[in-house]
Amino acid sequence: MPADPKKAARADVKRAQAKFERTADRHDEARVARRASFERARRAGLTLREIAEAAGLHWSRVGDVLRKK
């Protein structure tokens, strides 16, 4: 008898959500640290494009990060 694909999918979603919730604090900390780093880079005179190049991001994404509080 084949396994129920919907049941398996629900179990997979539950596992992924649980993992996300366990690691959310670390993600928040990393997000805060990245924004602080971008802010320090701006105060040091780097442009959004220079920060983006160093971070491997598009310059508009750097701007998005800096605008979010």
Q: What is the pLDDT of residues 22-67, one digit of tens each?
A: 898 888 999 999 999 999 999 999 999 999 999 999 999 999 999 9
With tokens 């494009």, the residue in question is 49
d(CA 41, CA 58): 16
- pLDDT over 90 at 1, yes or no: no
Alpha-carbon dihedral angle through residues 51, 53, 54, 55, given to the nearest 10 degrees: 80
Token duo for residue 31? 């997000």
Total residues belonging to the chain: 69
Query: What are the structural domain ranges in the chain?
Result: 5-67
For residue 63, the number of C-alpha atoms closer than 13 Å in the C-beta half-sphere is 6
